[in-house]
Amino acid sequence: MRSAAEEKAARALLDWYRAMGVDEAVGEVPFDSFAAPQPKPAPRRAPEVKMAAGPPRAAPRAARPISTRGIGAEISTLTELEALVAGFEGCSLRRTAKSLCFARGSASARIMLIGEAPGRDEDLQGKPFVGRAGQLLDRMLAAIGLAEDHVYITNTVYWRPPGNRTPTPEEIEACAPFLARQIELLSPSVLVLLGGAAAKTILGVSEGIMRLRGKWLTYPSAGRDLPALATLHPAYLLRNPAAKRYAWRDLLLLKAALDSEIRGQ
Ligand code: URA
């Protein structure tokens, strides 16, 4: 017998699959993509090759999360911060973009989601995540019971890079102090980092998204360690539907954390 909670979770998953266009089962036998992975046979060891001693290896780089660097210290609301960003001339992306895409969602949300960069639809509407990837993101959030007014969504850069290219490190660096202040001012309970670019930028690490996703990390903000969860970018999921199962696991992790926070209140 399934519990009511298991049944609700299963229904939410089916709703999401339906929203993604999956409307029939194709296999003869059900496939449980959540089953624990079977241990792989141990790889056969390659014969050891003795190398001449090379240069000493660099020590692993310490994480350098983004910080405000004092920017926006004089202001106390997100509306003021948006005005500050609107007048900021230090990011070259603003010269080619039509609009500033500062944020969408609720300024009192407990969940803050951060993506990479606005695309064409976002540039036209002046809001993050309103195109196809954004619509998928909304469906993913709805599958765990979150609507737009439960979340606050932004990006690592506030303007669309020309032709949707990847933002350069300089463009990201220019926007980073504002983003750090945006996190401080919103003061969410949880950060959700959408894709490798956002996760690496905010946490200041170099690991890829497959290593970073699916576990609770922390981002230091305003003197506390803010829980941060990295997951796959919805645009990646549109291109690689088979990866949806990882995103679903991450969403369940987020839901469990939110539920336990509610229970603890
Ligand atoms: N992809 C992003 O990372 N952000 C958006 O706002 C839209 C697509």
Q: Mapping DSSP to helix (H, G, I), strand (E, B) and coil, where does residue 11 land?
A: helix
Instruction: Read off the pLDDT of residues 16-47 as tens digits, 9 standing for 90 and up.
Output: 656 554 555 544 445 454 555 554 545 444 44
First to last CA, the chain: 30
Rounded distance from Cα 105 to ligand 1 centre (Å): 14
Q: Is 65 touching ligand 1 by the criterion CB < 6 Å?
A: no
Evaluate whether residue 43 is within a structural domain: no
Helices (H) and strands (E) in the chain, counts: 10, 6
- With tokens 């350098």, the residue in question is 64
Tokens coding 258: 């939110």
CA distances from 218 to 94, 165, 204, 239 (A): 30, 28, 11, 29
Q: 153: domain CATH number?
A: 3.40.470.10
**Are 194 and 141 within 8 A, CB to CB?**
no
- 23: in domain: no
Tell me: pLDDT of 76 over 90: yes
Residue 71 placed within a domain = no
Q: Which of 102, 114, 129 to mutate to test the pocket of ligand 1 (most atoms within 8 A of CB)?
A: 129
8 Å CB contact between 182 and 222: no
Q: Given a cut of 70, is residue 234 above it in pLDDT?
A: yes
Atom of ligand 1 nearest to the CA of 234: 1
- The reported pLDDT for the residue numbered 29 is 47
Number of structural domains in the chain:
1
Q: How confident is the model at residue 123 (pLDDT cuts 50, 70, 90)?
A: very high
Query: Which pLDDT band, with edges at 50, 70 and 90, does 224 fall under?
Result: very high
Does the residue 196 lie in any domain? yes
pLDDT at residue 259 greater than cutoff 80: yes
Asked if residues 172 and 195 have their Cβ atoms less than 8 Å apart, the reply is: no
Domain extent, residue 108, equals: 78-264
Confirm if 257 and 157 have CB atoms less than 8 A apart. no
CA–CA separation, 234 and 55 (whole Å)? 41
For residue 78, the CA-to-ligand 1 centroid distance in Å is 20
pLDDT in tens, 90-104: 999 999 999 999 999
Residue 10: which pLDDT band, with cuts at 50, 70 and 90?
Answer: low
Residue position matching structure tokens 């989601």: 113
Report the alpha-carbon distance of residue 73 to residue 56 in Å, rounded: 42
Distance CA 80, CA 21 (A): 41
Token pair for residue 151? Answer: 């979340």
- What separation in Å is there between the alpha carbon of 199 and the centre of ligand 1? 14
Check whether 84 has a pLDDT greater than 90: yes
Does some domain include residue 67? Answer: no
**88 three-state secondary structure:** coil
Query: Greater confidence, 249 or 23?
Result: 249
Q: What is the number of the ligand 1 atom nearest to the C-alpha of 115? A: 3
Is the Cβ atom of 133 under 6 angstroms away from ligand 1? yes
Ligand 1: which of 116, 164, 237 to mutate, most ligand atoms within 8 Å of CB?
A: 116
Q: Check pocket membership of 117 for ligand 1, CB cut-off 6 A.
A: yes
Q: Examine residue 139 and state whether it is found in any structural domain, yes or no.
A: yes
